[in-house]
């Protein structure tokens, strides 16, 4: 039943105003006839949009049919964009339209951006990319080896003239990297020991081997988890601080001022930090292992009724002394590597804040990765040490 706004006489006009596409055979070929109002207002109702979508699906763009746009009553940029996208952003082989419609379509075709096509990388492209990245890897290796070589020379200079060494900087770095790191490393070690003891006790209780928790906790914490956990914490805490300190000196041009005054960067900046971490890292590692063992001992007493007295008496028999020496040596290597990586990325910071943030992030990620790789290397090389 017609409403007040649309009388029966107006119904044919409204029907003709709806945008649609019809098919027709003419002159021995197939034609697509677009008619109606191809505007935002003409396509605003869901019913009209659904009928238009169905009519467009019946005329796929990949065939050789011709298009006739002359019956279109009105065409705006939205309707022209719809047609252009349906044609897959390419003109049909044959097209009939009025001049005003052609102006709108030409503008849409000119300013429509095609989606970027992802190039397919062949094997030759990947080899070429590797070759182009090769020199950069060589430059990084060269600069890092130069930093290590300068450290060796500075250590020789320190041995020849100890009274000229930067001992105040050295003591300050030991306090910053070692003493201030004790609370966080103890807390994390304690929690790791508790978690490991509780998880292990559930399995040992099934086989009646509760006493072996001392062996498991002693070997795992003293030999592996203690040094690695301490190194990861120090890499995130002190490694980032080293990079940030030297990077800020680069941003504020303090490094340039030191060079002008003849103060060597390696002797005053790199060497004190490397020596401080080389000495502090084994102590932090043992401190973390002790905290983890304390947490494991408490958890073993609560979960398995193993008294702390038995835990302390069985620990020296379960863990040979060679494991302690290995852990200390490994921790010293970790400290040297973390300090060198932090100094390297700090020296490479450019005089802007964006480079400072990127260098600090790279320093932490690289330090943690190197620590895990070196720990795996130690595990392979010393697999027969301290294990019975």
Of 28 and 84, the structure prediction assigns the larger pLDDT to 84
Q: Which residues of 49-88 are buried (b: 16+ CB within 10 A; e: fewer)?
A: eebbeebbeebebeeebbbbbeebeebbeebbbbbbebbe
Residue 6: its pLDDT value, please?
43
> Would you place residue 30 in the very low, low, confident or very high pLDDT band (cuts 50, 70, 90)?
confident
In order of their start, the domains of the chain are: 16-111 (3.30.750), 136-381 (no CATH)
Residue 229: its pLDDT value, please?
94
pLDDT digits (tens, 9 = 90+) for 172-208: 999 999 999 999 999 999 999 999 998 888 888 888 7
> Would you place residue 15 in the very low, low, confident or very high pLDDT band (cuts 50, 70, 90)?
low
Query: What whole-number percentage of the chain has pLDDT above 70?
Result: 90
Q: Which of 14-23, 81-90, 237-246, 355-364 has the lowest mean pLDDT?
A: 14-23
Residue 5: its pLDDT value, please?
39
Residue 77 in contact with residue 104, Cβ under 8 Å? Answer: yes
Mean pLDDT of the chain: 85
107 secondary structure, DSSP code? H
Q: What is the 3-state composition of the chain as percent helix, strand, coil, each rounded to the nearest 5?
A: 70, 5, 20
Q: Which of 67-71, 156-160, 219-223, 343-347 has the lowest mean pLDDT?
A: 67-71
Residue 52: its pLDDT value, please?
81
Residue 10: its pLDDT value, please?
45
Q: Is the dihedral of CA 288, 294, 299, 300 positive or negative?
A: positive
């Amino acid at each position: 039943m017609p409403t007040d706004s649309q009388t029966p006489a107006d119904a044919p006009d409204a029907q003709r105003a709806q945008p649609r596409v019809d098919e027709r055979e003419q002159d021995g070929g197939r034609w697509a006839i677009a008619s109606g109002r191809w505007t935002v207002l003409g396509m605003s109702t869901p019913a009209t949009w659904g009928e238009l979508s169905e009519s467009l699906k019946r005329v796929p763009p990949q065939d050789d049919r011709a298009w006739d746009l002359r019956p279109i009553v009105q065409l705006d940029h939205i309707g022209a964009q719809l047609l252009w996208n349906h044609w897959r952003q390419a003109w049909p082989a044959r097209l009939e339209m009025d001049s005003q419609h052609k102006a709108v379509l030409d503008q849409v075709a000119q300013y429509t951006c095609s989606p970027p096509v992802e190039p397919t990388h062949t094997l030759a492209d990947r080899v070429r990319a590797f070759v182009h990245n090769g020199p950069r890897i060589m430059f990084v290796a060269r600069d890092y080896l130069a930093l290590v070589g300068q450290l060796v020379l500075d250590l020789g200079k320190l041995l020849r003239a100890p009274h000229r060494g930067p001992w105040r900087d050295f003591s300050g770095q030991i306090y910053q990297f070692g003493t201030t790191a004790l609370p966080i490393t103890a807390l994390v070690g304690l929690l790791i020991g508790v978690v490991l003891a509780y998880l292990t006790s559930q399995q040992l209780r099934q086989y009646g081997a509760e006493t072996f928790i001392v062996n498991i906790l002693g070997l795992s914490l003293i030999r592996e988890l203690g040094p690695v956990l301490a190194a990861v914490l120090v890499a995130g805490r002190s490694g980032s601080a080293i990079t940030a300190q030297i990077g800020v000196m680069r941003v504020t041009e303090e490094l340039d001022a030191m060079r002008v005054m003849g103060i060597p960067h390696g002797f005053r900046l790199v060497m004190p930090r490397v020596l401080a971490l080389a000495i502090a890292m084994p102590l932090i590692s043992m401190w973390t292992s002790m905290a983890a063992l304390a947490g494991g001992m408490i958890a073993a007493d609560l979960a398995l009724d193993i008294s702390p007295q038995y835990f302390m008496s069985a620990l020296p028999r379960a863990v040979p002394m060679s494991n302690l020496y290995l852990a200390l040596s490994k921790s010293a290597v970790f400290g040297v590597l973390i300090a060198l990586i932090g100094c390297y990325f700090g020296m490479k910071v450019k005089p802007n804040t964006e480079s400072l943030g990127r260098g600090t992030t790279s320093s932490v990620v690289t330090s943690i990765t190197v620590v895990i790789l070196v720990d795996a290397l130690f595990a392979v090389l010393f697999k027969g040490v301290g294990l019975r």
